[in-house]
């Protein structure tokens, strides 16, 4: 399978987790949304475009703050779950890929944003399309939710690597596979290389969640690599995780999340 087909398969895999995604995935910090609004000078009633809303993890907090949001979501099951989760909100959900979505140029959105979805959009398309639908002076913002490993963090994740390696799915021993909070690789250069946006704000966030056994397994079932993992490998891994966590007195694991919020302002000179 070539890299493009593999990428497409991975990004489509989240459909299989549509019924558990909202519950299993972590909420983003409220402080992140406050920081986003401050950095973009948004006001209630402004029109926002979300790329890849999934089930609405980032949509709901912003809709509650009074924004009018259009979501473009690739997965039909995810889009259906989002409609259910966002009922009564000023949100319109379009079931289509962002690459194929025919939003008109100059739609006047104040913000185009993506939460743990920007990396799945074709890099040859995403910046140009976001630029075209933003109003003059509008902003692009995106962030991921990644695993970070603080000093003194839960040793479980390094210990379980023996099982991942046994099934051929282990992490590299290199340091960049085990980033500490505040050390995630930044993408400023990629944004500025587009020539369409000026980076105006970058901020790192990290937070911790405690997962009991079944909660942690459910979380893993929302990750593309685990969704597409060979069933025998996945069963072996999950059985070992359950056994190890159940031997702990608290029967849980502490996982640290990290995010980098990027905010970039649309350059208003005519793009060619």
Query: What pLDDT is stored for residue 67 in this prediction?
Result: 98
Q: What is the pLDDT of residues 69-124, one digit of tens each?
A: 999 999 999 999 999 999 999 999 999 999 999 876 666 899 999 999 999 999 99
* pLDDT band per the 50, 70, 90 thresholds, residue 8: confident
Asked whether residue 79 is domain-assigned, the answer is yes
Asked whether residue 224 is domain-assigned, the answer is no
What is the SS3 assignment for 129-196?
HHHHHEEEEEEEEEECCEEECCCCCCCHHHHCHHHHHHCCCCCCCCHHHCCCCCCCCCCHHHHHHCCC
pTM of the model: 0.94
Asked whether residue 162 is domain-assigned, the answer is no
* pLDDT band per the 50, 70, 90 thresholds, residue 269: low
Domain, as residue range, for 72? 3-148+180-208+257-266
Distance between CA atoms of 137 and 46, rounded to whole angstroms? 13
Residue 111 contacts residue 237 (beta carbons within 8 Å): no
Query: What pLDDT is stored for residue 37 in this prediction?
Result: 98
Asked whether residue 215 is domain-assigned, the answer is no
Question: How many separate domains does the chain show?
Answer: 1
Strand locations in the chain (E): 47-51, 68-73, 91-95, 109-115, 134-143, 146-148, 197-212, 252-266
Whichever domain contains 34, its CATH number is 3.40.50.150
Q: What is the pLDDT of residues 126-139, one digit of tens each?
A: 999 999 999 999 99
Asked whether residue 223 is domain-assigned, the answer is no
* pLDDT band per the 50, 70, 90 thresholds, residue 175: low
Asked whether residue 172 is domain-assigned, the answer is no
Distance between CA atoms of 249 and 270, rounded to whole angstroms? 62
Asked whether the predicted pLDDT for residue 253 surpasses 60, the reply is yes
């Amino acid at each position: 399978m070539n890299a493009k087909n593999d990428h497409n398969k991975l990004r489509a895999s989240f459909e299989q987790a549509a019924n558990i995604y909202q519950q299993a995935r972590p909420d983003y910090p409220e402080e992140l949304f406050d920081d986003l609004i401050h950095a973009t000078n948004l006001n209630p009633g402004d029109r926002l475009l979300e790329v890849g809303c999934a089930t609405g993890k980032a949509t709901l907090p912003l809709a509650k703050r009074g924004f009018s949001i259009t979501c473009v979501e690739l997965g039909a099951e995810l889009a259906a779950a989002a409609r259910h989760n966002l009922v009564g909100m000023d949100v319109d959900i379009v079931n289509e890929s962002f690459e194929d979505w025919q939003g008109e140029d100059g739609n006047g959105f104040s913000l185009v944003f993506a939460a743990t979805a920007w990396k799945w959009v074709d890099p040859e398309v995403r910046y140009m399309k976001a630029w075209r639908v933003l109003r003059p002076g509008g902003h692009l913002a995106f962030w991921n939710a990644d695993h970070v490993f603080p000093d003194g963090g839960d040793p479980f994740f390094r210990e379980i690597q023996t099982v991942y390696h046994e099934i051929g799915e282990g992490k590299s021993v290199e340091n960049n596979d085990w980033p500490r909070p505040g050390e995630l690789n930044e993408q400023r250069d990629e944004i500025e290389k587009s020539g369409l946006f000026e980076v105006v704000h970058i901020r790192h966030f990290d937070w911790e969640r405690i997962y009991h056994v079944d909660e942690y397994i459910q979380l893993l079932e929302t990750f593309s690599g685990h969704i597409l993992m060979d069933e025998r490998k996945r069963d072996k891994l999950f059985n070992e995780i359950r056994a190890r966590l159940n031997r702990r007195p608290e029967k849980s694991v502490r996982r640290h999340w990290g995010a980098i919020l990027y905010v970039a302002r649309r350059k208003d000179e005519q793009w060619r």
